Amino acid sequence: MSQDRTISSYWSAPVEGWTLVIHGGAGQLRQLNLSKEQEDHARVVLVAALDSGAKILAAGGSAVDAVEAAVRVLEDDPYFNAGRGAVFSADGINELDAAIMDGATRDAGAVSAVTKARNPVTLARAVMEQSPHVMLTAGGADRFGAEHGIEQVAPAWFHTDERWRQYEELRKGGTFDADLKYGTVGAVARDAQGHVAAATSTGGLTGKRWNRIGDSPVIGAGTWAEDAGAATSCTGSGEHFIRVGAAHELSARVRLGGAGLDEAAGAVIGEIGAFGGVGGLISVDAQGRGGWCFNSQGMYRGMARGGEPHRVELYGIGE
């Protein structure tokens, strides 16, 4: 069913040096919904994530290292629905998903429904670099992480009072995730060598059942990177992003159709909106163009580039 949704977007010009773009989830993020303290905290953590990735890129480091570092900062903060701030499933546990992809080689790693890795994005990278596979899930992924030295934590690490409150609210008949926010974090980068990478991490939906998996760890749906096209990380109603193959579709429009990032991203988000989907994406290409596009009321997002001040925004057009 077609939905008439306003699309908000921003795209930078090409740059010779490095570019880093991050997001912390999309949804009904109106200024009236968030307290001053919540706004301030979100901005501080987004800046810290940008700083972490930017430090690597400014020193000549790789895009893969930068996106992992930026996402780890967001995973470690309980405000964001990834890692420590992950929501609870219908069974009252935290099931974490993450993916990472190297645009230079198209190597990729992903994990879903994991419960023990402190930083799921680092576990996903281990799958990419230390296994013959692309995606591992649930107990097998947890076992792989333990066997490969990925930091493990007890369930209490992921238990936050606010996420438990949301879970209890849903159990009483509420619809927290459907009505408020799709929490996912992600980063895309172009390094000084001209290579791109993408990483995404999420706790999924509050009250999700049956080991539901959204788009975040699905290579080509919520996460994709190729130097000849673009690196993209998505956030939103995951089932719609999967059906559109959003991240790969954007890159294909750039690589095969000759579209610019703005045109390609607008077309993808427009198609998702036509299916009734809500959310957004961040993207960067090998020329250093970067930015975001979303049809929700807001999306936590930020950009860092060499020699420029960080750009951090929370709301949509007119907010």
Q: How far apart are the first and last CA of the chain?
A: 27
Q: Read off the pLDDT band of 178 (50, 70, 90).
A: very low
pLDDT at 179: 43
Res 94 pLDDT > 50: yes
Q: Read off the pLDDT band of 33 (50, 70, 90).
A: low
Q: Read off the pLDDT band of 169 (50, 70, 90).
A: confident
**Tokens encoding 153:** 């934590």
Q: Can you tell me the mean pLDDT for 122-137? A: 98
Question: Exposed e or buried b for every residue in 144-160, given b needs 16+ CB within 10 A?
Answer: bbeeeebeeeeeebbbb
Q: Phi then psi for 42, rounded to 5 degrees?
A: -60, -45
> Do 230 and 261 contact (CB within 8 A), yes or no?
yes
Q: Can you tell me the mean pLDDT for 190-212? A: 94
> Do 298 and 28 contact (CB within 8 A), yes or no?
yes
pLDDT at 191: 98
pLDDT at 317: 61
The kind and range of the H/E element at 39 are helix 36-58
Quickly tell me which residue has 């030295």 as its tokens: 149
Percent of the chain with pLDDT over 70: 93
**Distance between CA atoms of residues 175 and 153, nearest Å:** 29
Q: Which residues are catalytic?
A: 184
Neighbours of 16 (CB within 10 A): 9
Question: Residues 44-92: pLDDT tens digits?
Answer: 999 999 999 999 999 999 999 999 999 999 999 999 999 999 999 989 9
Q: Phi then psi for 202, rounded to 5 degrees?
A: -155, 160
What does each C-alpha distance from 130 to 96, 199, 271 come to in angstroms? 20, 17, 36
pLDDT at 123: 98
pLDDT at 277: 94
- Amino acid identity, position 259: A
Domain residue spans of the chain: 8-315
Percent of the chain with pLDDT over 90: 81
**Tokens encoding 13:** 């010009």
> Do 295 and 5 contact (CB within 8 A), yes or no?
yes
Q: Kindly report the pTM of this predicted structure.
A: 0.94
Side-chain-facing half-sphere of 264: CA atoms under 13 Å: 30
Side-chain-facing half-sphere of 140: CA atoms under 13 Å: 9
Least confident of 87-91, 93-97, 99-103, 243-247: 87-91
**Distance between CA atoms of residues 152 and 129, nearest Å:** 19
**Distance between CA atoms of residues 205 and 178, nearest Å:** 9
Question: Residues 259-296: pLDDT tens digits?
Answer: 999 999 999 999 999 999 999 999 999 999 999 999 99
Mean pLDDT of the chain: 92
Res 180 pLDDT > 70: no
**Distance between CA atoms of residues 221 and 150, nearest Å:** 26
**Distance between CA atoms of residues 58 and 16, nearest Å:** 12
- Which CATH fold topology does 8-315 show? Glutamine Phosphoribosylpyrophosphate, subunit 1, domain 1 (3.60.20)
pLDDT at 304: 98
pLDDT at 182: 56
Least confident of 26-35, 88-97, 156-165: 26-35
Tell me the angle at which helices 120-130 and 63-76 cross, rounded to the nearest 10 degrees.
Answer: 150
**Distance between CA atoms of residues 272 and 138, nearest Å:** 28
Rg of the chain over Cα atoms, rounded to whole angstroms, equals 17
**Distance between CA atoms of residues 42 and 24, nearest Å:** 9
**Distance between CA atoms of residues 35 and 201, nearest Å:** 25
**Distance between CA atoms of residues 297 and 42, nearest Å:** 16
Res 36 pLDDT > 70: yes
- Amino acid identity, position 164: W
What percent helix, strand, coil does the chain show, rounded to 5?
35, 25, 40
**Distance between CA atoms of residues 89 and 40, nearest Å:** 28
